[in-house]
Amino acid sequence: MGWFLRILGMPSMIAVLLIVNILGTIYGYWWYKVQLEQTPPLFYVFVPDSPTASLFFCFVLIFFLFRKNCGLLEALAGVTLIKYGLWAVVMNIAGGAAGDTLHWTNYMLIVSHFGMAVQGILFTPYYRIKPWHLTAAAVWTVHNDIIDYVYGMFPWVSHAISDQIMHIGYFTFWLSMLSVLLIYLFNVRRHRFLNL
């Protein structure tokens, strides 16, 4: 595992991942353009969930290139990459299971968003997240859930499951909790244990 972490932390690998994530972030914001056109400006920042998660991670990777850490950005990136990565995978599969026809774009979203979640976990050894960083990321994430499912700003889902929004909101909240827990276990708790 040590050799893999060394490869993952090489500047050339970080630079490649940064380029991939920048391109994915740009595409992600473009993907949301129609929904953003129908979104009140007050909620703009809360609608494009996945590209905002990858944008956080782009900044984390830039810090890594300069051998720096920003715990708050790392907490935001780690939690949201896992959450929205897994959320998109589940929603696309659920749409197909409910009878929607899955196109190549659905499979692309499944693969790319699963990659987001994997990134969020793989880089946990490099994060320097303090408890208050994770608390702030948890507040941001749950606040986003409230905006999505109380104010109706949730990402559009397949018509086959659009009548299940209440259940999707419930699932999303607990996915937020799971994502926070994973970052706590893989980073915050681990570093606190090692520093004892």
pLDDT attached to residue 93: 97
| Cβ contact 174:124 at 8 Å | no
pLDDT over 90 (residue 54) = yes
Domain boundaries, the chain: 2-194
pLDDT over 60 (residue 188) = yes
Q: What is the 3-state secondary structure (H, E, C) of 127-181?
A: CCCCHHHHHHHHHHHHHHHHHHHHCCCCCCCCCCCHHHHHHHHHHHHHHHHHHHH
pLDDT attached to residue 74: 98
**Mind listing the pLDDT tens digit for each residue in 93-143?**
999 999 999 999 999 999 999 999 999 999 999 999 999 999 999 999 999
Query: What value does the mean pLDDT take over residues 21-30?
Result: 97
pLDDT attached to residue 196: 41
Query: What value does the mean pLDDT take over residues 78-94?
Result: 98
Query: What value does the mean pLDDT take over residues 80-103?
Result: 96
pLDDT over 60 (residue 192) = no
With a pLDDT cut of 70, the percent of the chain lying above it is 96
pLDDT attached to residue 95: 96
Query: What value does the mean pLDDT take over residues 152-172?
Result: 95
With a pLDDT cut of 90, the percent of the chain lying above it is 91
| Cβ contact 38:142 at 8 Å | no
- If you compute the radius of gyration of the chain from its CA atoms, what whole number of angstroms results? 17
Query: What value does the mean pLDDT take over residues 135-161?
Result: 96
Query: What value does the mean pLDDT take over residues 165-173?
Result: 97
pLDDT attached to residue 191: 61
What's the mean pLDDT when you consider all of the chain? 94
Say what the pTM is: 0.94
| Cβ contact 80:53 at 8 Å | yes
